[in-house]
Structures are given as C-alpha cells and as structure tokens.
Amino acid sequence: MPEHATTLQLIGVAVLGAAAVVWAVVLVRLLRRAGRRTVVRRSTAPLPALPGQTRVGPSRESVELTPAEQDAFAGLVRHLANG
C-alpha cells in the first residue's frame, strides 16, 4: 500500500476499477445483442418510418473500350495486384 494514498483514495480506485469492468461487460453484451439484431433486421423488410431512397445526381455513364485499351487495363490490374 503506498504511503501517500489514503484509505479513501484506495477505496475510490477500487470502486472505479470495478465500475470500469462492469461497464465493459455491459458494453460487450449490448454490442453482441445489437449484432444479432442487425442480422435479423437485414433479412426483413425495411423500416416503415424511413422514406424510400431516390436516385439523385447524374445517371451512370459507360464507355466502350477498344481491345487495346482493355489489354492495357488488364495489364494495369495485374501490375497493381502484384504489388
């Protein structure tokens, strides 16, 4: 026991330590329970209180690549995949 700490201070540290352990246990249990609920909610219908999402912004664009461009892109992907 340190000489400079009073008994009340040591009791306070012990109480804070116990509270931290209890808080961590409760947090882990809540996160596990929430994790199980999100899996269940994903398989069900969307929440009725949320409005449907609309597509905002420009439409998607696509460009046809020439065979040379496709080969160059494939080479670039291979180069990036190798590091």
Where are the chain's structural domains? 1-46
The mean pLDDT of 5-30, rounded to a whole number, is 95
pLDDT above 70 as % of the chain: 86
- List Cβ neighbours of 1 (8 Å cut-off, separation of 6 or more): 10
- On the question of pLDDT at 35 being above 90, the answer is no
Average of per-residue pLDDT values in the chain: 85
Q: DSSP labels for 19-74?
A: HHHHHHHHHHHHHHHHHHHHHHHHHSPPPTTSPPP---SPPP---PPPHHHHHHHH
Q: Report the pLDDT value the prediction gives residue 12, as an integer from 0 to 100.
A: 95
Query: Looking at per-residue confidence, does 61 or 11 come out higher?
Result: 11
- List Cβ neighbours of 47 (8 Å cut-off, separation of 6 or more): 41
Closest CA to 73 of 81, 30, 61, 36: 81
Q: Report the pLDDT value the prediction gives residue 9, as an integer from 0 to 100.
A: 93
